[in-house]
Chain A
């Protein structure tokens, strides 16, 4: 199975990190140098990739229209699915980015008794949405480690997330939905034959990485014995944020592993398919208005091509045109 390579690579990296932190005590490397490097690569990488895309022009308007065009005034146009102006485009993009509109449309085709049956298929949509939103909430929640004092909004999100408290420590719903969603995304890759067939190592790797990040996070928080010193963690992270890095002693190895995996994700992000996060904003089938008959759009690299002019055509067929009694420019 292709995914196994990814798993082995990740496990090797995890071993390396544990070895470095626990045995060799390379805390400065794993706690300061690698995270700084990772963030730098993340930022530079993303900018580089987006600029690289943006440098290629969009010569033609090619939106995939998914609804009625704006034509005659008495026909109701669908400005969200077939936008005719900037507001429609914005709405369409918001639906796409916040609610995964196109994926929501997903169906499943099955053949039964020689007939094709189409059923709704929202599992991928649900799994994807659950994963992305819980990931977002978890990232936001982490700001409590980066900021002092902790802004109200972050406390609010944190409290909402912990609403289903069943004991101490507070259980965050998102932690488990996140792991469940990533687990689902992994399982469907393994279970659905077609999806397994198209999956590459580079599809499994980020899933394993996210699972590992989530798992180390959960272990640190909920498992006695693995729990880390939160006060020390915060002290260290705030040091990093303020460019005043220092290794704070007494933080468990699990923290370093978690931090290392996050660094890995940051480095991996810009060189991988995870860049779909940036790319979705630039997609010419989605972010253009369907107004190509209303407004002229310029192709920046356009060049003339040799057609077949009317004169050439008339010259070639003169006698035939004349014979058929059609008008000629030159007799």
Chain B
């Protein structure tokens, strides 16, 4: 699908800004770099304003007559609601430290993709309408009238931000462009400027329980299908229940896990693991989605979609919740859920029934990340692992932006990795852990019409993968985010061909030695394991990785 573009061509990035100032440089909607509009049906289902047929490339966006008042009023409301927004409007000194931290700027050279300038698009209007200096001195202090062109520019650039927050890490005041992007997108939505890749999954999720719009029986089918697959692979018939009342744990995954490739291998991994330890858990078809596209849309949508998880936990009478591998999902679950839809006082503080470990870090939300859960199992020696079963993989780990920068989940997946594979190589410093680079497609931008921008945005990540591929022969990029798994294959094919993308729990599932498994079991992709003899000799030579944290 990336035949249109060539790496040599996209890697040639010109960082010279145009001769004209940014306010005088018009924004041209470039094909391949923006997303299509939301279809009216989805907009209507969510009850959002101004459902209509339109495209961002149209001249007339068919906005309501009073669109300007709506936006400015919306801005006023949000300035009163969020200190973050108000503060970030006022304190930027334009030092430029954030400029080359954005994957889109690195990959495109477009100066409006410098986080500072992206935010200035918003700030200019703020100054014009909400500050005395802006009202008096106008453009001299960087104020700008909210015109239709300015609004279109907002649309273009605020849907060229994956809300990965890498810039906020380097900002001396912690200015978080994601906050500004989130608010700008809320405002755009008030006048009906939504993109389909966000609104349709959100509408699906509200209706059916998951982004893909899979109805209850379809979800059940997927789970049954996975049970059968796992039986073929391991010779073991695992139990997997859906909507079962009285289970101890509700398990919520991003819905791509039971459909997508390579997500699905991770899904098999979870199920194998839970079977092996005998966890009393259930899936829910009603809450069959952990991901939350509301985060990229609006406070209200986020809250509406998130409601199901606690509601279902209560309905099923579980004690606590485990969440699967997903990036933005964990930003919502970690930083928002308890405030949005808590208190979860009908649940118990999570205690692993296998190890007895009490997850005090999830004392209030009662929701544990699967990497935390599995790391604990491994540490307490509760599962038998054969690392050599992953010897076909030379693995590197991609920290997903949100678990890394919005949660601090850095060591748990590494601990798991070091225990399930022999060859784990880190990408270079500055591209991992809290400084990790986005896949280039987060925050609802993973569409194919946006492919050029995705590949450009994926350049820094792809480049780091290429580095370890050349240096260590890495052939798997392991990650713990559904959007990563969906969009990094294209990024890797383009920038580091030959590297596959896989899930953390795929590797766990591969290494897991299950009681009663058939002697000729394969890995979760159905491939036979490398012979243990060959791997032994190799393992002696290349053994790496620190086993202690």
Chain A residues proximal to chain B, CB less than 8 Å: 2, 5, 49, 52-62, 64-72, 74-78, 81-82, 96, 100, 102-103, 105-109, 111, 114-116, 118, 124, 128, 192-203, 271-273, 275-276, 279-280, 282-286, 290, 292-299, 301-302, 305-310, 313-314, 316-317, 320-321, 323-327
Contact = CB atoms under 8 A, between A and B. Distances in A.
Interface string B94-110: 11110111000010000
Chain B: number of interface residues, binned into ranges: 35 or more
B393 interface: no
A290 B336 contact: no
A64 B361 contact: no
Contact of B106 (A109, A114, A271): A109
| Secondary structure type dominating chain A contacts | loop
B335 A102 contact: no
B83 A64 contact: no
A122 to B, nearest CB: 11
A298 B341 CA distance: 10
Given A69-B407, A305-B303, A293 B221 contact: no
Contacts of B315: 310
Contacts of A198: 22, 94, 96, 99, 111, 114, 116-117, 120
Given A67-B408, A114-B11, A327 B243 contact: yes
Interface in B63-99: 79-87, 90-97, 99
A208 B106 CA distance: 31
Contacts of B13: 111
A285 B84 contact: yes
Interface of B: 7-8, 11-13, 15-17, 21-22, 47, 79-87, 90-97, 99-101, 106, 111, 114, 116-117, 120, 132-133, 140-142, 165, 168-176, 179, 206-209, 215-217, 220-221, 242-245, 285-286, 300, 303-305, 307-308, 311-312, 315, 333-336, 338-340, 342-343, 357, 359-365, 367, 372, 375-376, 379, 404-412, 415, 428-431, 434-435, 459-460, 463-464, 466-467, 549
Given A200-B142, A317-B215, A75 B174 contact: no
B176 A69 contact: no
Contacts of A69: 361, 407-410
A71 B83 contact: no
Nearest 9 A/B pairs, CB to CB: A69-B408, A279-B91, A324-B217, A285-B174, A65-B408, A82-B408, A307-B307, A114-B11, A197-B17
A72 B120 CA distance: 41
Contacts of B96: 124, 192, 194-195, 198
A298 B339 contact: yes
13 contacts: A59-B339, A62-B406, A71-B361, A72-B361, A82-B408, A106-B170, A114-B12, A128-B172, A203-B94, A275-B91, A283-B175, A293-B362, A294-B364
Contacts of A53: 83, 86-87, 90
A70 B95 contact: no
Contacts of B11: 111, 114
A21 B44 CA distance: 69
Nearest to A82: B408
B220 A284 contact: no
B76 to A, nearest CB: 11
Contact of A194 (B93, B114, B173, B216): B114
B375 A280 contact: no
Given A61-B335, A72-B357, A320-B216, A66 B169 contact: yes
A64 B217 contact: no
A105 B93 CA distance: 18
Interface-centre pick from B334, B363, B375, B408 (highest chain A CB count, 10 A): B408
A326 B218 CA distance: 12
Given A57-B82, A118-B431, 14 more contacts: A69-B410, A72-B375, A81-B408, A103-B170, A105-B435, A114-B11, A194-B15, A195-B96, A197-B22, A275-B90, A279-B87, A283-B173, A298-B339, A327-B244
Contact of A67 (B141, B305, B410, B430): B410
B311 A307 contact: yes
A115 B338 contact: no
Contacts of B15: 193-194
B311 A199 contact: no
Contacts of B172: 96, 100, 102-103, 128, 276, 280
B335 A202 contact: no
B172 to A, nearest CB: 4
B338 A292 contact: yes
Given A60-B335, A326-B220, A326-B243, A201 B405 contact: no
A276 to B, nearest CB: 4
A5 B140 CA distance: 9
Contact of A81 (B93, B357, B434, B467): B434
Contacts of B466: 115
Nearest to A199: B94
Nearest to A120: B430
Interface-centre pick from A62, A116, A203, A326 (highest chain B CB count, 10 A): A116
Contacts of A325: 220
B22 A62 contact: no
Contact of A273 (B91, B215, B307, B357): B91
A197 B111 contact: yes
B412 A72 contact: yes
Contacts of B549: 74-76
Contact of A324 (B132, B216, B311, B411): B216
A284 B86 CA distance: 11
A65 B434 contact: yes
Contacts of A124: 95-97
A135 to B, nearest CB: 14
Given A116-B463, A275-B90, A283-B174, A60 B361 contact: no
A161 B26 CA distance: 51
B372 A324 contact: no
A61 B81 CA distance: 14
A60 B339 contact: yes
A324 B243 CA distance: 12
B336 A271 contact: no
